A and B are shown apart, each in its own frame.
Chain A
Amino acid sequence: METIFHNLLLGLGVAIQPINIMWVTLGGVLGTIIGMLPGIGPASGVALLLPLTFTMGPVGALITMAGVYYGAMFGGSRASILINTPGDGASIASCWDGYPLATTLKRPEAALAISAIASFIGGMIATVFMIFLAQPLARFAIKFGPAQYLMLYFFALSATASMSGQGKVLKGFLSMCIGLMAATVGIDALSGVQRYTFGLMNLQGGIDFLITIIGIYALGEVFESLGDIGKGKTKVQTKFGRIWITMKDWKRSWPAILRSTPLGFLIGVLPGTGATMAAIMAYNQEKNISKHKDEFGKGAIEGLAAPEAANNAASVGALIPMMTLGIPGSGTTAVMLGALLMLGLQPGPLLFEKSPEIAWGVIASMIIGNCILAVINIPMAGILVRILAVPERILYPLILGLAFIGTYSISQSTLDFVILTIFGLLGLFMKRAGIPTSPMVLGAIVGGAIEEKFRQALMISNGSYGIFLGDPITIVLALLTAGSILLPILQRAMKKAKGAKAAAA
């Protein structure tokens, strides 16, 4: 207990430095804007803003990127509420009651206010959970060797692939394979053999996974949206009364917020399940236990509060495996991990031992960041949503421009522009074929580490594969991996059995 307070004070000392307050504000505002814009989510947002973090140093970079992540959770709902188009995946559930509340019931002020309040409370409580959970988890993971890490990577990957959605499990794994393939291009670090470089000098260093990410997310999303430009654009309301809620709204919302926060946090911590699933599950949970079920979908204020609290809590939870274990459990945290590795910082258990001021500085900055975001998103919401009025024919070309300058800042090579375009087209193709893209991105980022740990473990064991099931930790992780693969299959089988029973009866 004492050490937690000691660490938190250490972190606060870092977080309240004016420069870091500036970074968290910048990250939060940019994140809110990115979250608002339909088409770019937090993962592409972090990737696009990456060049900005080069000069900040690791602490500033991590603080800014975390700010972008949870800022996007605040911003995403603005578009859901006002134009019924989620700004990012995690705010889909916010459309269901947010939009009717703002339009049919003509209470956009209450909708904007409750979503920011719920986001704030969800984020704050989740940060407190994180404060208590981070250190023990990091301590536990510090004993992990290559075999344990490999099994942990397997679990993260298989969970992400199998959580891809109904009937998409195989496609999720296919997507993962593509990512793993992309990671093998270049000189093999352990033997010096060139693999899949086709004699090109530029490929010897491998395909930078940041380029994979920018290509798949940013370009892929722009390509996918090109056909929809000018279709059914709703006019954005930009004039509001006082953005606040009534006592009655609050009484209906607070239990929903308090129930959804732990749920969202837990889902966020688990690999594979992100803020999107957290928000949808929280919404369904509220709907199931509500006394006025009939109001859901027609502007029930708790139906907006629940997913908003949950997605913010999930975004905080998702940072835990990334920071304490060095394992990303979602697209956005994968991008953050990649960015940190490039800045020369290895997140993981050693981060808490060797540089507690960075680890705790970031955690403490999240408390400050949440307060700043609440201020930005409640009184200033009217100004910010004007961004939604920028037409797509202007917006998308600018996103492309940002993607290219981001790529150039990473590698200073225009060959990467071509690779970027190819990945953009691949992203479009995969979306059209219904293949999820997150497992691929995750695979591209951890692929190199997986192979390295795989071969290191085999060297330790003199080539015996028994090492991968050699101790309780690897066995538990292997069981979890198998479970994550079997769960969707079992669910389907049970559904079928149920259906057969119903048909027989």
Chain B
Amino acid sequence: MVLNFNVIADLAFLLLGLAYGLGALALPEANFGDPMAPKVYPLIISGLMCVLSVVLLASEIKKQKAGTAEKAVQFKIGNEGKLVAFVSVACVLYAFLFNILGYVIATFLFVEAIMVFISKGKKLLSPTLWALGFAVGIYLLFGKVLAITLPPMPFLDI
């Protein structure tokens, strides 16, 4: 069996379906009404999902035998993989720093970092201006005009 994207996805969703179903069985029973009620619906979804992923996997294996399947996934991180990984890490860090640094600083750093990384550090001035404008602009629009409470800058009460 060739490990291509279809196989990986089908296996992953089969596991997810099984885990979800086991999770449903382990749920506590309801204190009133039908004690099984909260479990029935998740079990139906789990069953459907397992059946679907098994059928998909079977048809993929058939395809592979006929020689019409896609090629195997290359486990090599290319340019796109690097970008996605960098942006994902930046997103998590952003979540972490959001309340510590306040909206404007955290957002500026987040947007600036991604812009600079995408342009491979070749351009600095225009990303900085865009990031600064965006962070301040959104802070004013959401924080002041739309009255959504955003974390303020540390030490400065603005």
Check A170–B142 contact: CB distance below 8 A: no
Check A421–B91 contact: CB distance below 8 A: yes
Return B109 CB to nearest CB of chain A, in Å: 11
Check B38–A51 contact: CB distance below 8 A: no
How far is it, in angstroms, between the C-alpha of A245 and the C-alpha of B30 when the chains are bound? Answer: 67
| Set A222, A398, A430: member contacting B130, Cβ < 8 A | A398
- A430 partner residues in chain B, CB cutoff 8 A: 9
User: At the interface, yes or no: B126 with Cβ under 8 Å from chain A?
Assistant: yes
How far is it, in angstroms, between the C-alpha of A76 and the C-alpha of B134 when the chains are bound? Answer: 25
How far is it, in angstroms, between the C-alpha of A412 and the C-alpha of B110 when the chains are bound? Answer: 18
Return B67 CB to nearest CB of chain A, in Å: 17
Interface SS of chain B: helix
Return A430 CB to nearest CB of chain B, in Å: 8
User: At the interface, yes or no: B66 with Cβ under 8 Å from chain A?
Assistant: no
* In the complex, per-residue mask of A455-473: 1 if CB is within 8 Å of any chain B CB, else 0: 1000000010000000000
Return A187 CB to nearest CB of chain B, in Å: 10
Q: How large is the interface on B (under 10, 10 to 19, 20 to 34, 35 or more residues)?
A: 35 or more
| Set A177, A229, A424: member contacting B45, Cβ < 8 A | A177
**Which residues of chain B in 109-126 are interfacial with respect to chain A, using CB atoms and an 8 Å cutoff?**
110-111, 114-115, 118-119, 123, 126
Would A191 and B20 be within 8 Å (CB), given that A177-B45, A394-B127 are in contact?
no
| Set A173, A184, A393: member contacting B48, Cβ < 8 A | A173
> Who on chain A is nearest to B131 by CB?
A397
Return A254 CB to nearest CB of chain B, in Å: 43
Return A500 CB to nearest CB of chain B, in Å: 17
* In the complex, per-residue mask of B31-58: 1 if CB is within 8 Å of any chain A CB, else 0: 1111001100110010011001101100
How far is it, in angstroms, between the C-alpha of A455 and the C-alpha of B32 when the chains are bound? Answer: 14
Check B33–A397 contact: CB distance below 8 A: no
Would A400 and B5 be within 8 Å (CB), given that A192-B30, A226-B84 are in contact?
no
Check A405–B41 contact: CB distance below 8 A: no
User: At the interface, yes or no: B146 with Cβ under 8 Å from chain A?
Assistant: yes
Check B42–A195 contact: CB distance below 8 A: yes
Check A433–B8 contact: CB distance below 8 A: yes
Would A178 and B13 be within 8 Å (CB), given that A54-B146, A394-B115, A400-B87 are in contact?
yes
Return A375 CB to nearest CB of chain B, in Å: 26
**Which residues of chain A in 156-171 are interfacial with respect to chain B, using CB atoms and an 8 Å cutoff?**
170-171
| Set B17, B99, B147: member contacting A414, Cβ < 8 A | B99
Check B126–A195 contact: CB distance below 8 A: no
User: At the interface, yes or no: B95 with Cβ under 8 Å from chain A?
Assistant: yes
How far is it, in angstroms, between the C-alpha of A418 and the C-alpha of B96 when the chains are bound? Answer: 9
Q: How large is the interface on A (under 10, 10 to 19, 20 to 34, 35 or more residues)?
A: 35 or more
| Set B20, B79, B88, B150: member contacting A181, Cβ < 8 A | B20
| Set B17, B31, B98, B147: member contacting A192, Cβ < 8 A | B31
* In the complex, per-residue mask of A174-189: 1 if CB is within 8 Å of any chain B CB, else 0: 1001101100100010
- A420 partner residues in chain B, CB cutoff 8 A: 91
How far is it, in angstroms, between the C-alpha of A404 and the C-alpha of B99 when the chains are bound? Answer: 13
Would A414 and B142 be within 8 Å (CB), given that A226-B84, A394-B126, A394-B127 are in contact?
no
* In the complex, per-residue mask of A54-96: 1 if CB is within 8 Å of any chain B CB, else 0: 1100000000000000000000000000000000000000000
Check B49–A177 contact: CB distance below 8 A: yes
- B123 partner residues in chain A, CB cutoff 8 A: 393
> Who on chain A is nearest to B83 by CB?
A226
Check A417–B52 contact: CB distance below 8 A: no
* In the complex, per-residue mask of B123-158: 1 if CB is within 8 Å of any chain A CB, else 0: 100110011001100100010001111100000000
| Set B5, B31, B110: member contacting A401, Cβ < 8 A | B110
Return B147 CB to nearest CB of chain A, in Å: 7
Check B6–A433 contact: CB distance below 8 A: yes
Check A51–B126 contact: CB distance below 8 A: no
How far is it, in angstroms, between the C-alpha of A428 and the C-alpha of B9 when the chains are bound? Answer: 12
- A435 partner residues in chain B, CB cutoff 8 A: 9
Check A409–B142 contact: CB distance below 8 A: yes
How far is it, in angstroms, between the C-alpha of A69 and the C-alpha of B53 when the chains are bound? Answer: 34
User: At the interface, yes or no: A235 with Cβ under 8 Å from chain B?
Assistant: no
Check B119–A401 contact: CB distance below 8 A: no
Check A417–B98 contact: CB distance below 8 A: yes
How far is it, in angstroms, between the C-alpha of A173 and the C-alpha of B148 when the chains are bound? Answer: 38
User: At the interface, yes or no: A52 with Cβ under 8 Å from chain B?
Assistant: yes
- B33 partner residues in chain A, CB cutoff 8 A: 190-191
User: At the interface, yes or no: A372 with Cβ under 8 Å from chain B?
Assistant: no
Check A415–B115 contact: CB distance below 8 A: no
How far is it, in angstroms, between the C-alpha of A396 and the C-alpha of B119 when the chains are bound? Answer: 12
How far is it, in angstroms, between the C-alpha of A223 and the C-alpha of B84 when the chains are bound? Answer: 6
| Set B45, B134, B148: member contacting A51, Cβ < 8 A | B148
User: At the interface, yes or no: A408 with Cβ under 8 Å from chain B?
Assistant: yes
How far is it, in angstroms, between the C-alpha of A401 and the C-alpha of B36 when the chains are bound? Answer: 43
**Which residues of chain A in 380-430 are interfacial with respect to chain B, using CB atoms and an 8 Å cutoff?**
393-394, 396-398, 400-402, 404-405, 408-409, 412, 414-415, 417-418, 420-421, 424-425, 428-430
Would A408 and B114 be within 8 Å (CB), given that A191-B32, A226-B87 are in contact?
no
Shortest 3 CB-CB contacts between residues of A and residues of B:
A227-B80, A417-B95, A433-B9
* Pairs across A and B, CB under 8 Å, 7 listed: A178-B16, A193-B28, A229-B83, A229-B118, A397-B110, A417-B94, A433-B5
Interface residues in chain B, defined as those with a beta carbon under 8 Å from any beta carbon in chain A: 5-6, 8-9, 13, 16-17, 20, 23-24, 27-34, 37-38, 41-42, 45, 48-49, 52-53, 55-56, 59, 78-80, 83-84, 87-88, 91-92, 94-96, 98-99, 107, 110-111, 114-115, 118-119, 123, 126-127, 130-131, 134-135, 138, 142, 146-150
